[in-house]
């Protein structure tokens, strides 16, 4: 149609020689424009057309929840811990900076940005790209330490990025440098010190690890050496009074279902997850090596835990240290036990609406979405409500990336935003499957209008109450 229009208007009556000249001129004009476009790609905003696919093709394949280990030999050789200067990033990371098309999808889903913290994953990438192009100091000039500490490592940005940029790796590498330079202070530094000294970030004597189990006759690896499942309790459920109730509920459910399990008791220490995510790789590796030795000595093959952070580290990161286990979150084992008729999830929710906060390290990072819903019997419960951001698109509670150990002004709490979303569903119970989510969401509800009427429970507590209701 366009050709016909040009022919019947502008070109009507034109002679053959003029037509040939016009053809030549337009052909060359087109060729120069196309060549000019490609020639200026390295300096124009279409560079990502080339670098985007290159980044997708070269990005290393590994589980979303696995951070790359710092090799001690490399540290000894180079004296480098993490990334202090732009040139300390590897080639693939530098390429990824050029791949950004500035679409802002990462920023739209970032809980730190949404809660008013000084962090935008998009600006992390573009600011680093600025240093790469024009030089200059990285730490404290292009990237502020508070920006790096604001990240919950929820991986929402990584999941959304169309060119697969690894924001969490970039942030993690820069955090390692800050920790190596002794730039971490206050409560998070203290929690790392306590992981090193006492084996847990709460600073409690590790001998008190079984206090949560008082009166339950929970089997230990000593009293029941032929266990099938090791119940990895985790530091929160061992020492935090609220989370201890989740450990009790989980143990009671396992006992009621006749599962052959045992706990490590005082032989268990922190997995090292907070240390690795805050940036203390030496401490993490020391914890991982110790725990892998303990698990090997106790011939552990199957692990169940109620903490998605422990689950992620044991499953995705301990293989780096020779620890290979079948690791389950308690939601998947409990769902299997319900399916097998060894537990019941008959809705005994007193007719009250219930919703689920998907822990991001469970749903997004490890892809477990159906199991917690199966435990709650969500499919057949008319009172079950889904939040707008759910499943793999969940919204972090604010505790990840070691943020649990940072002080946070009430106005910047991610948990408040999440509590508002849960309250808007009309739910009277907010269920979750992570001791840190439980802690954060309880605080979030306490500080939010309407939250005083919403109970925050672990899925194991909901399920245990349903066993009791059936008696
Ligand atoms: S990991 Fe989460 S908190 Fe960190 S930059 Fe990405 S979206 Fe924001
Ligand atoms: S989502 Fe990826 S491409 Fe888009 S702005 Fe963020 S980093 Fe850049
Ligand atoms: S505490 Fe829960 S929601 Fe928060 S970061 Fe951890 S898994 Fe994600």
Burial class (CB in 10 A: 0-12, 13-18, 19+), 190: middle
Is 312 found in the same domain as 383? no
Q: Is 87 in the pocket of ligand 2 (CB under 6 A)?
A: no
Q: What is the pLDDT of residues 180-217, one digit of tens each?
A: 999 999 999 999 999 999 999 999 998 999 999 999 99
Which among 141, 133, 125, 152 has a CA at the least distance from the CA of 55? Answer: 125
Most confident of 8-17, 117-126, 348-357: 117-126
- Residue 289 lies inside a defined structural domain of this protein: yes
- Residue 192 lies inside a defined structural domain of this protein: no
- Residue 193 lies inside a defined structural domain of this protein: no
Q: Is 363 in the pocket of ligand 3 (CB under 6 A)?
A: no
Which among 157, 144, 143 has a CA at the least distance from the CA of 113? Answer: 157
Is 315 found in the same domain as 245? yes
Number of structural domains in the chain: 3
- Which pLDDT score, from 0 to 100, does residue 16 have? 85
Contact 174, 82 (CB under 8 A): yes
Is 413 found in the same domain as 389? yes
Is 257 found in the same domain as 386? no
**Beta-strand (E) ranges in 364-428?**
384-385
Q: Is the pLDDT score of 96 beyond 80? A: yes
- Which pLDDT score, from 0 to 100, does residue 367 have? 98
- Which pLDDT score, from 0 to 100, does residue 30 have? 92
**For residue 122, what is the domain's CATH number?**
1.10.1060
Domain stops at, among 309, 336, 363: 336
- Which pLDDT score, from 0 to 100, does residue 347 have? 63
Q: What is the pLDDT of residues 10-46, one digit of tens each?
A: 777 788 888 888 889 998 899 988 888 777 777 767 7
Kindly give the number of the ligand 2 atom that is closest to the alpha carbon of 104: 5
Q: What is the pLDDT of residues 55-68, one digit of tens each?
A: 999 898 999 999 99
- Residue 37 lies inside a defined structural domain of this protein: no
- Which pLDDT score, from 0 to 100, does residue 8 have? 77
Is 219 found in the same domain as 151? no
Q: Is 48 in the pocket of ligand 2 (CB under 6 A)?
A: no
Strand order across the 261-262 sheet: 261-262, 229-232, 302-305, 326-329
Specify the range with the lowest mean pLDDT, choosing from 50-54, 206-210, 241-245.
50-54
Query: Across-strand partners of 439?
Result: none
Which among 212, 211, 213, 231 has a CA at the least distance from the CA of 221? Answer: 231
User: Across all residues in the chain, what is the average pLDDT?
Assistant: 94
- Residue 10 lies inside a defined structural domain of this protein: no
Interaxial angle between packed helices 414-424 and 435-446, expressed in degrees from 0 to 180 and rounded to the nearest 10: 80
Main-chain dihedrals φ then ψ at residue 354, nearest 5 degrees: -135, 145
Q: Is 153 in the pocket of ligand 1 (CB under 6 A)?
A: yes
Kindly give the number of the ligand 2 atom that is closest to the alpha carbon of 160: 1
Tell me the residue range of the domain where 88 lies.
49-59+67-180
Kindly give the number of the ligand 3 atom that is closest to the alpha carbon of 153: 5
Q: Span 67-76, mean pLDDT?
A: 91
Residue 471: pLDDT band (50, 70, 90) is: low
For ligand 2, atom 3, the nearest C-alpha belongs to 100
Domain stops at, among 336, 364, 382: 336
- Which pLDDT score, from 0 to 100, does residue 219 have? 98
Kindly give the number of the ligand 2 atom that is closest to the alpha carbon of 102: 5
Q: Is the pLDDT score of 467 beyond 60? A: yes
Place of tokens 């919204």: 395
**For residue 367, what is the domain's CATH number?**
3.40.50
Of all ligands present, the nearest one to the C-alpha of 103 is 2
Q: Is the pLDDT score of 423 beyond 90? A: yes
- Which pLDDT score, from 0 to 100, does residue 14 have? 80
- Which pLDDT score, from 0 to 100, does residue 272 have? 97
Is 331 found in the same domain as 258? yes
Q: Span 331-359, mean pLDDT?
A: 89
- Residue 456 lies inside a defined structural domain of this protein: yes
Is 96 found in the same domain as 53? yes
Q: Is the pLDDT score of 372 beyond 80? A: yes
Q: Is 161 in the pocket of ligand 2 (CB under 6 A)?
A: yes
Q: Is the pLDDT score of 350 beyond 80? A: no
Q: Span 108-137, mean pLDDT?
A: 96
Kindly give the number of the ligand 3 atom that is closest to the alpha carbon of 398: 4
Which among 167, 133, 135 has a CA at the least distance from the CA of 150? Answer: 167
Domain stops at, among 147, 180, 213: 180
Contact 464, 257 (CB under 8 A): no
Cα 155 to averaged position of ligand 1 atoms, centre (Å): 6
Percent of the chain clearing pLDDT 90 (strictly above): 80
Is 229 found in the same domain as 303? yes
- Residue 454 lies inside a defined structural domain of this protein: yes
Cα 120 to averaged position of ligand 2 atoms, centre (Å): 10
Residue 409: pLDDT band (50, 70, 90) is: confident
- Which pLDDT score, from 0 to 100, does residue 348 have? 54
Is 348 found in the same domain as 332? no
- Residue 38 lies inside a defined structural domain of this protein: no
Is 409 found in the same domain as 286? no
Tokens of 42: 């390295």
Is 288 found in the same domain as 161? no
Residue 397: pLDDT band (50, 70, 90) is: very high
Specify the range with the lowest mean pLDDT, choosing from 57-61, 269-273, 367-371.
57-61
Query: Across-strand partners of 430?
Result: 355, 456
Q: Span 163-168, mean pLDDT?
A: 97
Is 426 found in the same domain as 447? yes
The C-alpha atoms of residue 202 and residue 191 are separated, in whole angstroms, by 7
């Amino acid at each position: 149609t366009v050709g016909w229009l040009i022919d019947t208007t502008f070109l009507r009556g034109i002679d053959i020689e003029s037509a040939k000249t016009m053809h030549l001129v337009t052909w060359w004009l087109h060729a120069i424009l196309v060549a000019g476009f490609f020639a200026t790609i390295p300096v124009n905003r279409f560079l990502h057309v080339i670098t985007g696919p290159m980044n997708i093709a070269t990005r290393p394949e590994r589980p979303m929840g696995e951070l790359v280990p710092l090799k001690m030999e490399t540290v000894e050789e180079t004296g480098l811990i993490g990334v202090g200067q732009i040139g300390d990033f590897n080639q693939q990371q530098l390429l990824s900076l050029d791949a950004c098309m500035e679409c802002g999808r990462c920023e739209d889903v970032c809980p730190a940005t949404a809660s008013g913290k000084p962090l935008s994953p998009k600006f992390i990438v573009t600011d680093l790209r600025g240093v790469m192009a024009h030089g200059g100091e990285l730490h404290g000039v292009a990237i502020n330490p508070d920006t790096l500490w604001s990240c919950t490592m929820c991986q929402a940005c990584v999941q959304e990025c169309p060119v697969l940029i690894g924001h969490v790796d970039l942030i993690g590498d820069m955090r390692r440098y800050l920790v190596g330079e002794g730039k971490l202070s206050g409560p998070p530094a203290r929690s790392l010190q306590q992981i090193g000294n006492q084996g847990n970030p709460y600073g409690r004597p590790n001998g008190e690890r079984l206090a949560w189990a008082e009166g339950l006759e929970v089997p230990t690896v000593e009293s029941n050496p032929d266990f099938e499942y090791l119940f990895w309790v985790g530091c929160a459920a061992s020492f935090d009074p609220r989370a201890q109730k989740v450990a009790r509920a989980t143990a009671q459910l396992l006992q009621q279902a006749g599962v052959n399990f045992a706990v490590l008791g005082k032989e268990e220490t922190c997995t090292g997850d907070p240390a690795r995510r805050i940036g203390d790789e030496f401490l993490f590796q020391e914890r991982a090596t110790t725990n892998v030795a303990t698990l090997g000595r106790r011939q552990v093959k199957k692990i169940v835990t109620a903490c998605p952070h422990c689950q992620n580290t044991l499953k995705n990161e301990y293989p780096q240290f020779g620890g290979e286990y079948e690791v389950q979150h308690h939601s998947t084992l409990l769902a299997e036990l319900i399916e097998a008729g060894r537990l019941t999830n008959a809705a005994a929710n007193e007719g009250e609406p219930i919703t689920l906060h998907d822990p991001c390290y469970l749903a997004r990072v490890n892809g477990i979405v159906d199991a917690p819903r199966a435990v709650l019997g969500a499919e057949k419960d008319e009172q079950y409500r889904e939040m707008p951001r759910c499943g793999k698109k969940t919204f972090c509670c604010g505790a990840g990336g070691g943020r649990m150990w940072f002080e946070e002004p009430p106005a910047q709490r991610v948990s408040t935003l999440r509590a508002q979303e849960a309250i808007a569903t009309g739910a009277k119970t907010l269920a979750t499957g992570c001791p840190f989510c439980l802690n954060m969401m309880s605080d979030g509800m306490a500080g939010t209008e309407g939250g005083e009427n919403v109970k925050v429970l672990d899925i194991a507590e909901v399920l245990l109450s349903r066993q009791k209701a059936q008696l």
